[in-house]
Amino acid sequence: MANLNRNITYTNRDFNTFRNALINYSKTYFPNTYNDFSSDSTGMLFIEMASYMGDVLSFYLDNQIQDTFIQYARQEKNLFDLAYMLGYKPKVTTAATVDIALYQQLPSKNVGRT
């Protein structure tokens, strides 16, 4: 197996930085294999699709990491899980509900008639 010493960073976070990193990677490590970086080439289609997937996965990863911190969590289930993990037992309250029937008495228009 070949020893590949390639400089790969994992800090790219949006579509354009993923796209530029993939183009630079291709130019650096495959200069003779692929060199058509025009916007209508098939190779750029795959580079942009990979950039899109990287952007989407980065977004979901950020959301998952955000919900592991109690001060930044947005999902109710995660907030309760984090609170229970820290030993806090929140008092879960809900709004009161009641079944009620309302009636109104109206005078009859036909009072006294037979």
- pTM of the predicted model, to two decimals? 0.61
Query: 98 — phi, psi (to 5°)?
Result: -150, 145
For residue 50, is it within any domain? yes
Residues in contact with 48: Cβ distance below 8 Å, sequence separation at least 6, in sequence order: 19
Distance CA 39, CA 31 (A): 18
For residue 3, is it within any domain? no
The domain tally of the chain equals: 1
Q: Within 10 A of 3 (CB to CB), how many other CB atoms are there? A: 4
92 vs 50, higher pLDDT:
50
| Cβ pair 44, 38 in contact under 8 A | yes
Range of the domain at 81: 15-85
User: pLDDT by residue (tens digit) across 30-55?
Assistant: 999 888 899 889 999 999 999 999 99
For residue 51, is it within any domain? yes
